[in-house]
Structure 1
């Protein structure tokens, strides 16, 4: 069996993110791939070109069925992602075919042709936004009381670290923007809609063209919250959105369409959009050592638009 090549940029990213644990995992990765190929009788292909947090590659079953093999890096996200994909049960989501908990590996339905939503957004953002809303509607399912997923309240802990990190201040982040995000969070969590399982990271690169349905999602985080929270990641994506002309018009139009398609109060989508964009910008400081410029710019634009609660 030919072992797939591990790209140098992926090695550098994993070492940066996980230090010694990442280097140990990278050393074991060829062994994990060999194990998974034998367990599931797979012919392994090459990794997908946009690798970041996990090692994901194409593979083929003996009957010719194309599948995806995802080997989770030491992020502690494996169990939640496996549970989330299983919970969605193929509704709006690629199906989970099998798991290997010891190696933290997922065997997944491969979506064909697998084109992401990003190219359509470049030429027809309204159409891409309506497609994303349709996927959201398919995904949302009630959660049972003893769910294994984090909540939006737990994710908020990330933002509480911001002021600690900057000695009680907000560093390069606008104090007005941070105050606004904190106020929105307090107001909204006091009046949450019925909770559902959210994708948690539903953006243009995580929505793919498929055959079983026109568009399906991949790579869920698995997050419990109200439906309005889901739109945040979509608003501040795709990457380099800050460079788009007429960004205020684009974001305002997305809010209009999402409010219409999802039947959710526009002001609530607007507020969660600002909050999650700022949270994302801060997470990049925690994870990568620099501010997420795309999400910060979107937070600033959303704060400037009329209609915030």
Structure 2
């Protein structure tokens, strides 16, 4: 089998500032995949396609036919930290790790097989949000002492540096988002392990549980930060409705109340994360996506 990276992955990595580093990883990917399969004594069945925007997933099986999934991501994505988070959750609300050892030589993760073609996005939005909330509650646990993950303050400090260079068309919103971020990190109410990039598409159907999350970008901080990404899910549908700004605010408030999160802190993190994502989309040339994100942030 030839382990060529899907074009969706190639395009996505090419948009990032670390594209040169990722290009080198992409060239090595076929060899890394072969080595990872051999090291874990599993056999490849097929590459998951179209796949994600940040990793290669190969559907594999053990010698006895037990299915599994092998995930390979660039080193800058810190797969070791993803492995540590998944191991800490122990399969409770998240995909289960089948090999807890981290092999720096290939950086691959061997995980239980889920159903990648069935995510929460296959459900009506109201039902999907209800299931998403239940999954998030399982993930929000205290991190272990001496944990390896960065904090929300650290992650958003890095993002703020880029946001300060936002173009004129996004300058006012960027300044508002930066001010909100500074106020939020000044007095964080809690320090929990968070998914970091939680949305409906990151929750897949499983065998041992109806829904399990995948693809964390783990970070330690408050629940409102994690919930902020979910608040803008199915953004095109939200923008297309006649509810507009009022509908966006109601959605944020409903999510906050359902998961017992402070409304204003959720609104603040939702604005910051939408503006930061919009700025990155502009920089990558994805203007339509950027316009949607910035319009949504302005509504809040």
TM over 0.5: yes
Residue aligning to 2:202: 206
Matched-pair contact (CA < 8 Å) for 1:284–1:290 = yes
Instruction: Give, in angstroms, the shift of residue 251 of structure 1.
Output: 2.8
> Is residue 255 of structure 1 aligned with residue 255 of structure 2?
no
Distance 2:230 2:147 in 1: 25
Distance in 2, Cα, partners of 1:258 & 1:7: 35
Which residue of structure 1 lines up, in the alignment, with residue 38 of structure 2? 38
- The match for 2:9 is 10
Kindly report which structure 2 residues correspond to 1:46-125, keeping only aligned pairs within 5 A, or say none: 46-48=46-48, 49-98=50-99, 99-112=102-115, 115-120=118-123, 124-125=124-125
How much has 1:249 moved relative to structure 2? Answer: 5.3
- Indicate the SS of the match to 1:254: helix
Aligned-partner SS, 1:284? helix
Q: Flag structure 2 segments of 5+ consecutive residues without an equivalent.
A: none
Paired with 2:148 and 2:72, the residues of 1 have a C-alpha distance of 20
Which residue does 1:150 correspond to in 2?
A: 150
Aligned to 1:188: 184
Bigger mean CA offset, 44-53 vs 9-18: 9-18
Any stretches of 5+ residues in structure 1 without a counterpart?
Answer: 303-309
CA deviation after TM superposition for structure 1 residue 153, in Å:
1.0
Residues 1:250 and 1:89: Cα distance change in structure 2 (over 3 Å): farther
Does structure 1 conserve the Cα–Cα contact (< 8 Å) formed by 2:8 and 2:51? no
Scaled by the length of structure 1, the TM-score of the pair is: 0.85
* Stretch deviating more after TM superposition (2-11 or 259-268): 2-11
SS in 2 for 1:197: strand
Task: Quote how far apart the aligned CAs of 1:171 are.
Answer: 2.0
Q: Cα distance, 1:44 vs. partner? A: 1.1
Q: Deviations over 1:14-66 (max 9, x none)?
A: 44544443333222211112112222222213222133121112111222222
Report the CA distance shift for 1:239/1:269 in structure 2 as closer, same or farther (over 3 A): closer
**How many residue pairs align between the two structures?**
292
The answer for the alignment partner of 2:276 in structure 1 is 279
Query: Does the C-alpha gap of structure 1 residues 19 and 185 become closer, same or farther in structure 2, counting only changes over 3 Å?
Result: closer
Map Cα deviations across residues 148-180 of structure 1 (whole Å, 9 max, x no partner): 1111111222123222x35xxx522041x2233
Instruction: Return 89-98 or 21-30, whichever deviates more.
Output: 21-30
What's the RMSD between the two structures over aligned residues?
Answer: 2.3
What TM-score, normalized to structure 2?
Answer: 0.87
